Structure 1
Amino acid sequence: MAWKVDYKCQQVFRIAVLIQLVALALSNEKEHQNEFLCRRCGETIANHQQLSHYTSPLAVDTWNATLLGVPRVNVQLFENPQKQRFNVVTFTTANIHAHEEAYSEASWYPGNAWRICTCPQCKTHLGWKFQPVNFNHVTHSEEDTFVGIILDRLIEEKQGDSILYVPNSYKS
């Protein structure tokens, strides 16, 4: 009789472990799908925790969207001096390469200078890193900066699985 109890306990234990593994896999999948990727190469650029809400009085238009499963993410439409328009989402930080020189002219965020930022993998222009005009590492920290990324240059991880990239060497 004791053998039957032990066998049933083992079965219950195995089922409990299996349920925990499935739950862990599902949570990891959901967490992984809360990322933005570079639309060109698939490099991870930012996640839902890095989204921020930096508004500008110079935006041509602004609206809220659900991005990465987060409701009411602020999207702003900006126009540069060349009349190009960009839908921009802001992040506290992102996996980008910020170029060295900062410019205060034509900044969409008064009091902030901008630096071009690109994908660290494929070097595609993704947006801009903003910092205080007189930024220096003695009086400021990275917490004083933020990143504005062009929404059209990103793709959500959950949509990225549907994209197939075929290297030129395989094309006939």
Structure 2
Amino acid sequence: MHLSQNVPVFFGRFLSNEGKGLDLVHHAGLVRVGGTQHKKLVLRELSAEPYESSKINSQELLLCRKCGADVVDSSYLFTKISPGSKKPKQENIFGKKNVTVQSLVNPFGIKFEIVTAEKARCENVGPRQSAESWFPGYTWRICVCPHCGQHLGWTFETTNEDDLPVKNEDATSFHGIILSNILGENFTDSLIMMPTTYQM
């Protein structure tokens, strides 16, 4: 079986029936349960093609691609268009229809595809920055996974809550999450299949 080296394989989300995490012995394709018992997993072929969930209009957790921590609930995804976005597109991803995906470029010429979320479980790093904000009237800070420190995106906050430069119906803060740094829970569930003789 050939696995694409371009797609990270994630297993940290799967738990034993006692609620203990499974440790992956990655190179051997084995999972260690509780440190003693080994179970062989059958991997599905991975591809670089985007995964579209067949469960549209359902709630899905979005996970850090590096460590698998829950970072966003798909029910918090919403549309906030940046004036710098070139041709935002609507995609059916993460169990939702018409999720807005925007391509934005930073001052260094690095392109990011992001989705916006009202809430996210990420830690803000550094002071608020107002220069080069993709969303006028908002400052930005890098936000990272609270578990592993992976860069997940940015937190955008209004510049001054007393003198709001944004419309009243707009959020006072939100997150721009980098699409390539997260995985949908349903996608990770599709990566492995446990043989029926080993199912708990």
TM-score past 0.5 threshold: yes
Is the CA contact 1:116–1:127 (under 8 Å) kept in the aligned structure 2?
Answer: yes
Q: How many residues align?
A: 129
Higher normalized strand content (fraction of residues): 2
Alpha-carbon displacement from aligned partner over 1:44-101 (angstroms, at most 9, x marks no partner): 0111211111111111331011122111010100000000000000000101111240
- Is 2:196 the counterpart of 1:155? no
The offset of 1:134, in angstroms, is 2.4
- Is 2:35 the counterpart of 1:35? no
For 1:51 and 1:34, the matched residues in 2 are separated by: 11
Q: Give the TM-score of the pair, scaled to structure 1.
A: 0.69
Unaligned stretches of 5+ residues in structure 1? 1-29, 137-142, 165-172
The offset of 1:32, in angstroms, is 9.1
Match of 1:122 in 2: 148
SS at match of 2:115: strand
Alpha-carbon displacement from aligned partner over 1:129-166 (angstroms, at most 9, x marks no partner): 00011258xxxxxx5100000000000001113558xx
Is the CA contact 2:59–2:75 (under 8 Å) kept in the aligned structure 1?
Answer: no
In the alignment, residue 182 of structure 2 is paired with which amino acid? L
In the alignment, residue 144 of structure 2 is paired with which amino acid? T
Match of 1:83 in 2: 109
For 2:190 and 2:67, the matched residues in 1 are separated by: 13
SS at match of 1:160: helix
Alpha-carbon displacement from aligned partner over 1:7-27 (angstroms, at most 9, x marks no partner): xxxxxxxxxxxxxxxxxxxxx
Is the CA contact 1:51–1:90 (under 8 Å) kept in the aligned structure 2?
Answer: yes
Larger Rg: 1
Q: Give the TM-score of the pair, scaled to structure 2.
A: 0.60
Show structure 1 runs of 4+ deviating over 4 A.
30-33
Among 111, 114, 128, the residue aligned to 1:102: 128
Q: How do 1:1-172 residues align onto structure 2 when only pairs under 5 Å count? A: 34-135=60-161, 144-162=172-190
SS at match of 1:82: coil
SS at match of 2:127: coil
In the alignment, residue 129 of structure 1 is paired with which amino acid? T
Is the CA contact 2:66–2:148 (under 8 Å) kept in the aligned structure 1?
Answer: yes
In the alignment, residue 76 of structure 2 is paired with which amino acid? Q
Match of 1:17 in 2: none
